Amino acid sequence: MTVSKAFNYFCFLVLFFIVNALFSVNSHAQQRDMAQPAKGKSPDLVVAQQPSTTQPSNNVIVLNVADIADQANKFVVNIQSTTEDGGTSYGSGFFVEENGLIVTNYHVIREAIKTSGAITIITTDGGSYSASVKGYDDSTDLALLEIKDKTLFTYAKLGDSDGVKVGEWVVAVGSPFGLDHTVTLGIISAKGRSGLDGEYDDYLQTDAAINFGNSGGPLVNVKGEVIGINTLVLAKGQGLGFAIPVNILKEILPQLRDIGRVKRSYLAVETTDISITTAKSLGIPQGIRGIRVAKVERDTPAAKAGLRRDDVITAVNGSPINSTGQFNRLISRIPPGTKVELKIRREEREFVVTAELIEKKPSVEKK
């Protein structure tokens, strides 16, 4: 080997060991950083809220389920009520005022209302109280109970369900199958689910486990705020639970508390959501949203306004309509006697009709 070749070989070895040493140091540093928890943070699940841009963000939320559950259990109650056959129905609820007002699902205490049966509230500390029905609304499946006691109860903070985003963490608390104060964790799977149970449907969908007996219990966000009322589950599937958005409760709570029922306006028209197949059959261009008129009764506000079967309602007073549930809720909030403008599409033509709303008669439970 010549002197030149030996020198080149020596330089190659030196360069090789330098590169290898640098790579080893960097690798150990990365492993050390990954193994070391963030300073000041507990080892709970850390959820990083990703920004919409590529800019770095320090907005990090620690999801401490134990703390959320501990906070929620203070205002969550177990509800036991008498059924028509003399048995006991189990459900859940939560305090909304310190003076003993409790929200639950109407279907939890429906049979007790029919039979004037007893309703018993069990609090997290084992206290047992007799409750009466302050008000109920079968259209939204919500009810307000009252405990007449001098005790001041811890009550829930109501959040904003309109601001909830799909993918957010949520905790469900309730008494499935009588197992009181059971806590499950999940996310918001979808919003605005309708066509499941009633004319005002606008459910939050979650994969947090909800079972029979959870009805009436709260769906809580990471701040410990109630954003929904757990109501139903599709038994044929898994992870398909549904909660009434808390903003619906906030709208009707004053009426339930003050007069025991909810006054609503309506048009007396039956509508359905529009599927892709229906849109094609009605000649609705792609991108146009609305609901289909399925039935119009005689001598009703809808009939007097000139609505017909298969008309497509696309807007009310300029507000776009996307679903039957949204349409029913929008109409129900407007005072009876008010005239509203309905933008409709009929046989590829669009025009506006005016209808005068009337008050919807409340349903009466038969005993």
Query: Residue ranges of the domains in the chain?
Result: 68-147, 161-258, 265-359
Q: What's the alpha-carbon Rg for the chain, to the nearest Å?
A: 29
96 pLDDT higher than 90:
yes
Comparing 10-14, 40-44, 265-269, which segment has the lowest mean pLDDT?
A: 40-44
**Residues 6 or more apart from 134 whose CB is under 8 A from it?**
101, 144, 145, 146, 256, 257, 260
48: three-class secondary structure by DSSP: strand
Instruction: Copy the structure tokens of residue 12.
Output: 């190659």
- Residue 202 is predicted with a pLDDT of 83
Catalytic site residue from 92, 161, 189, 215: 215
pLDDT bucket at 45, cuts 50 / 70 / 90: very low
pLDDT bucket at 2, cuts 50 / 70 / 90: low
Instruction: For residue 169, give the amino acid letter.
Output: W
Identify which has the larger pLDDT, 114 or 46. Answer: 114
Catalytic, 141? Answer yes
Same fold, 161-258 and 265-359: no
Domain 265-359 sits in CATH at 2.30.42.10
Instruction: For residue 292, give the amino acid letter.
Output: R
**Residues 6 or more apart from 144 whose CB is under 8 A from it?**
96, 101, 102, 103, 133, 134, 135, 136, 253, 256, 257
Closest among 92, 105, 114 to 141, alpha carbons compared: 105
Residue 347 parent element (H or E): none
Identify which has the larger pLDDT, 58 or 314. Answer: 314
Catalytic, 201? Answer no
- Residue 220 is predicted with a pLDDT of 96
- Residue 236 is predicted with a pLDDT of 76
Average pLDDT rounded to a whole number, residues 170-187: 90
75 pLDDT higher than 90:
yes
Average pLDDT rounded to a whole number, residues 347-360: 89
Share of the chain above pLDDT 90, in %: 49
Given a contact cutoff of 8 angstroms between Cβ atoms, the answer to whether 91 and 213 are in contact is: yes
Closest among 102, 71, 101, 113 to 217, alpha carbons compared: 102
26 pLDDT higher than 70:
no
CA atoms within 13 A on the CB side of 158: 19
Closest among 267, 251, 269, 256 to 202, alpha carbons compared: 251
Catalytic, 52? Answer no
Choose the CATH number for 68-147 among 1.10.10.10, 3.40.50.10300, 2.40.10.10, 3.40.50.1820.
Answer: 2.40.10.10
Interatomic CA distance for residues 64 and 291, integer angstroms: 42
- Sign, CA dihedral 162-167-169-173, equals positive
Catalytic site residue from 137, 138, 141, 180: 141
Identify which has the larger pLDDT, 51 or 335. Answer: 335
Instruction: Copy the structure tokens of residue 76.
Output: 């969550």
Across 65-90, b (16+ Cβ under 10 Å) vs e yields: eeebbebbbbbbbbbbbbeeeeeebb
Q: Is 51 buried (19+), middle (13-18) or exposed (0-12) by CB count in 10 A?
A: exposed
Catalytic site residue from 107, 138, 161, 181: 107
Q: What are phi and psi of 54, to 5 degrees?
A: -90, 0
Share of the chain above pLDDT 70, in %: 80
Instruction: For residue 172, give the amino acid letter.
Output: A
Average pLDDT rounded to a whole number, residues 311-326: 90
Mean pLDDT, the chain, whole residue set: 82
Given a contact cutoff of 8 angstroms between Cβ atoms, the answer to whether 226 and 116 are in contact is: no
357: three-class secondary structure by DSSP: coil
∠ CA 156-153-107, nearest 5°, is 60
- Residue 79 is predicted with a pLDDT of 96
Closest among 186, 182, 247 to 212, alpha carbons compared: 182
pTM of the shown model: 0.74
142 pLDDT higher than 70:
yes
Domain 161-258 sits in CATH at 2.40.10.10
pLDDT bucket at 365, cuts 50 / 70 / 90: low
pLDDT bucket at 53, cuts 50 / 70 / 90: very low
- Residue 105 is predicted with a pLDDT of 96
342 pLDDT higher than 90:
yes
